[in-house]
Amino acid sequence: MAKRLLATLTDTTLFLQEWFANPQRTGSIVPSSRQLAAAMARWLPSDPDSYVLELGPGTGAVTQALLAHGLREDRLVAIERNPKLALLLRQRFPRAQIISGDAWQLDGLLRSRNKPIASVGAVISSLPLLNFSPEEAEALAQKIRAILEPQGTWVQYSYRIHKRRTRGTSRFNLLASKIVWLNLPPARVSVFQK
């Protein structure tokens, strides 16, 4: 209990520092709550061999929930742009593939792995899409579309809770959407399929 509290405090301090350094890109002043992380992690692919691609994992709150929901660590690939956070994630999840890079380059980054990854069963994204232009969000959505398996899901949260769809999702089908009130601030988790 004390150990978990300490980890939460450390992650919150780190997040705050990164937010001060780059508020636009960090997108949040505190890590996702356990409730938000669990709402995202419910959407794992049914095939245990499918890869899951996490975008913008931050300090790993959602990553941790994905593993707690049964994802094998060796099936997890995550792209985090902040090198300090990517390093922390590599220490925390040594069997996952943590890529320090830009999510908008996901196609090239996944192709250039030792064992190239051609498709994924789910994309779980904490990227602050509202801080990117509609054109940038659309460009990312096209790359997500290309990498997703036919029945794959794109799970995205947003702080604009009155809208079920966030930027870039107009060409996807909306599968589910719900508000998670126990998060700072409350967030809406929406799930899309192509």
Ligand X SMILES: C[S@@+](CC[C@H](N)C(=O)[O-])C[C@H]1O[C@@H](n2cnc3c(N)ncnc32)[C@H](O)[C@@H]1O
Residue 5 or 150 with smaller CB distance to ligand X: 5
Residue 12 or 48 with smaller CB distance to ligand X: 12
Q: How far apart are CA 57 and CA 125, in angstroms?
A: 8
Residue 80 binds ligand X, judged by CB under 6 A = yes
Residue 28 binds ligand X, judged by CB under 6 A = yes
Per CB under 6 A, the list member of 53, 65, 66, 85 interacting with ligand X is 85
Q: How far apart are CA 125 and CA 147, in angstroms?
A: 14
Residue 81 binds ligand X, judged by CB under 6 A = yes
Stretch touching ligand X by CB under 6 A, among 58-66, 88-96, 109-117, 158-166: 58-66
Using alpha carbons, select from 57, 176, 48, 63 the residue that is nearest to residue 127. 57
Residue 25 · residue 128 · CB < 8 Å: yes
Compute the Cα dihedral for 163, 167, 169, 170 and give only its sign: positive
Query: Where do the DSSP E strands lie in the chain?
Result: 52-55, 76-80, 97-100, 120-125, 148-158, 173-180, 187-193
Applying CB under 6 A, the site for ligand X has a residue count of 24
Stretch touching ligand X by CB under 6 A, among 69-77, 90-98, 125-133, 163-171: 125-133
Residue 55 or 120 with smaller CB distance to ligand X: 55
Residue 121 binds ligand X, judged by CB under 6 A = no
CB-count exposure of residue 173 (10 Å: 0-12, 13-18, 19+): exposed
Footprint of ligand X on this chain (CB under 6 A)?
25-28, 31-32, 55-59, 61-62, 79-82, 85, 102-104, 126-128
